[in-house]
Amino acid sequence: MWTRVIALIIKEFLAILRDRKARITLIGPPIVQLIIFGYAATFDLKEVPYAVYDEDSSLASREFLARFEGANAFRKVAVLQKEDEIRQLIDTQQVLLVLHIPPRFQSRLTREGNAPVQVIIDGRNSNTAMLALNYVNEIAANFTLNMARQKGLSGPAAQLVVRAWYNPNLESQWFIVPGIVGLLTMVVTLMVTALSIAREREAGTFDQLLVTPMNPFELLVGKTVPGLVIGLFEGSIIVLLTVFWFGVPLRGSVPALYIGLLFFSLSIIGVGLMISSIAATQQQGLLGAFLFMVPAVTLSGFATPIANMPEIVQKFTLFNPFRYFLVVVRKVFLEGAGMELLLTEYLCMAAIGVVTLFTAALMFRRRMY
């Protein structure tokens, strides 16, 4: 039996890797994607363009505004003289926000202790808007506290001291890039497996395989191993790039990560082979892979938290292997988790893998009729 399985495995590797173009598509695009997405997929605010409309022009207002000029997140692009300029600047997206300081700012601040500052934000991208507003909030609160300390207190006051665990500077990259390990491993493994049987069907070689003494189990093993090896290899390259190129710390145990990667690859191979054994043509295989991939990525917590989704969609994500792997990869990378914390995730991915692989093996033959 093992002679047959090994022959099949060697053949699969040759079929995938013999072609120079195929080798390049397996390695090139994922790495380019990792680099581009690693940098592009960021929610961090950098150099938010803003304008100032200061109607007071007092010492206090200048002091307040100076705090923005010192901040990395902001970049002043205009100083306004008239209120109607605001509209035009925001409409055409030249600035994301405008700080409007009304007249009598300083006198209200000193006399009434309460001076309003208007912040006008472009809400077209609500996430950016919220983040920017939070920055403004922070600067304003610190300004207030500082004033209090200088001018004397009239009641209790406290400072808010925020520390972030695992990701002290709250860098998006630390969140996104380990996720890409899973994303690209999934894409490559799925491409290798989802088309493998469909391709053989189109070429007529699948019949040729079925008349050999090979049984479905041997076929399954022969088709799984190459996908697994390629998946693990691809995953390893990306893990290395994540650590050494992007400088994301790998704090947890490497074996814990690899056990996760193994189960994850298996579950994706199962899905891929299932798609492949249903699809009659490569085009259908491609479409099937696509139809699986879009929700698998969207509903995984890769870019947006699962907690923000409606209850019913959250339930649905329980069937998504990527969801579990994201937990594993992030916990291991950033939280330094070991295996004992990840047992649930391992178990869920393994269960998905067993079910899909088994179904695929059943369908190898059945689809023929």
Partner 1 sequence: MSPALRRICALVRKEFLQVIRDPSSIAIAIVQPLFLLFIFGYGISLDATHVPVACVVDATGPNAREFIGGLYQSQYFSPRIYGSMAEAEQAMIKGDAMATIWIRSDFERQAMTGNGKIEVIVNGVDANTARLVQGYLIGHWGQWLLKQGATMGLELKPRIWFNAEVRSRNYLLPGIIAVIMTLTGTLLTAMVVAREWERGTMEALLSTPVTISEVIVGKVIPYFLLGMAGMGLSVLTARWLFQVPLVGSHWLLLAVSCLYMLAALAMGLFISSFSKNQFIAGQLAIITTYLPAFMLSGFIFDIHSMPTVIQWLTHIIPARYFVTILQTLFLAGDVHGLVIKNAVYMAGLAAFFLLLVARNSRKRLD
Partner 2 sequence: MSEAISLKHVSKSFRVGKNTVQALNDLNLAVEKGIVTALVGPDAAGKTTLMRLVMGLLLPDAGEITVFGHSVQREAATVQEMTGYMPQRFGLYEDLTVQENMELYAELKGLSRQGRRERYDLLFRMSGLAPFTSRMSGRLSGGMKQKLGLICTLLSSPQLLILDEPTVGVDPLSRRELWQIIRNAVENEGMTVLLSTAYLDEAERCEQVILLNRGRIVGQGRPSSFLEPLKGRTFFVTSQKGLRRDLALELSALPSVVDVALQADGVRVIAKKGGLEPLCGVNVTAIAPRFEDAFVTLLTQAQEAPSLTGQHSAPNASPCENAPSLTKPLAVGSATNEDVIVVKDLEKWFGAFCAVNKVSFTVKRGEIFGLLGANGAGKSTTFRMLCGLLPATRGVLQVSGENLLRASSRARMKIGYMAQRFSLYGNLTVLQNLRFFAGAYGLKDKRREERIQWALTEFGLTPFQDFTAMALSLGHKQRLALAAALMHEPDILFLDEPTSGVDPLARREFWREIHRLAQRGVTVLVTTHFMEEAEYCDRLLIMSRGEVLVQGAPQELKAQYGMASIEELFVSLLERREERL
201-240 positions binding partner 2, by CB under 8 A = 203-205, 207-215
Say which residues have a Cβ less than 8 Å from residue 304's Cβ, sequence separation at least 6: none
Q: What binding mask, one character per residue, do residues 307-326 give for partner 1 by CB under 8 A, x or -?
A: xxxx--x-------------
Distance of CA 82 to the CA centre of its chain: 42
User: Token pair of 342, please?
Assistant: 């990840």
Stretch that binds partner 2, among 3-11, 169-177, 251-259, 304-312 (CB under 8 A): 3-11
By beta-carbon proximity to partner 2, the closer residue of 6 and 170 is: 6
By beta-carbon proximity to partner 1, the closer residue of 213 and 310 is: 310
Q: What binding mask, one character per residue, do residues 333-362 give for partner 1 by CB under 8 A, x or -?
A: -xx-----x---------------------
Q: Which amino acid is at 312?
A: I
Q: Is 44 in the site for partner 1 (CB under 8 A)?
A: yes
Q: What binding mask, one character per residue, do residues 111-140 give for partner 1 by CB under 8 A, x or -?
A: -xxxxxxxxxxxxxxxxxxxx-xxxxxx-x
**What is the C-alpha end-to-end distance of the chain, expressed in Å?**
27
Smallest distance from partner 1 to CB 186, Å: 14
Stretch that binds partner 1, among 3-11, 148-156, 214-222, 237-245 (CB under 8 A): 148-156
Cβ–Cβ contacts within 10 Å for residue 200, how many? 18
User: Token pair of 288, please?
Assistant: 């099937």
Q: Sort residue 104 into left (φ over 0), alpha (ψ -120 to 50) or beta.
A: left
By beta-carbon proximity to partner 1, the closer residue of 134 and 212 is: 134
Q: Three-state DSSP class for 240?
A: helix
Count of residues engaged in binding partner 2, rule: CB under 8 A: 26
Which of partner 2, partner 1, none interacts with 319 (beta carbon under 5 to 8 A by kind)?
A: none
Smallest distance from partner 1 to CB 257, Å: 15
By beta-carbon proximity to partner 2, the closer residue of 79 and 203 is: 203
Which of partner 1, partner 2, none interacts with 205 (beta carbon under 5 to 8 A by kind)?
A: partner 2
By beta-carbon proximity to partner 2, the closer residue of 4 and 67 is: 4
Q: Is 85 in the site for partner 1 (CB under 8 A)?
A: no
Q: What are phi and psi of 99, to 5 degrees?
A: -95, 120
Structural contact between residues 320 and 302, judged by C-beta atoms closer than 8 angstroms = no
- For 309-319, give one letter per residue: b (16+ CB within 10 A) or e: beeeeeeebee
DSSP string, 260-298: HHHHHHHHHHHHHHHHHHH-SSHHHHHHHHHHHHHHHHH
CA distance 1 to 204: 23
Which of partner 1, partner 2, none interacts with 253 (beta carbon under 5 to 8 A by kind)?
A: none
DSSP 8-state assignment for residue 332: I
By beta-carbon proximity to partner 1, the closer residue of 213 and 305 is: 305
Structural contact between residues 56 and 101, judged by C-beta atoms closer than 8 angstroms = yes
User: Token pair of 157, please?
Assistant: 């006051």
* Residues of this chain, 166-205, that bind partner 2 according to CB under 8 A: 203-205
Which of partner 2, partner 1, none interacts with 212 (beta carbon under 5 to 8 A by kind)?
A: partner 2
Count of residues engaged in binding partner 1, rule: CB under 8 A: 104
CA distance 302 to 306: 9
* Residues of this chain, 71-130, that bind partner 2 according to CB under 8 A: none
By beta-carbon proximity to partner 2, the closer residue of 210 and 339 is: 210
Please count the CA atoms within 13 angstroms of the CA of 89 that sit on its side-chain side.
23
Tell me which residue of 256, 267, 198 sits closest to 227, measured CA to CA.
267
Q: Is 55 in the site for partner 1 (CB under 8 A)?
A: no
Residues at the interface with partner 2 (CB under 8 A): 1, 3-4, 6-8, 10-11, 14-15, 18-19, 203-205, 207-215, 368-369
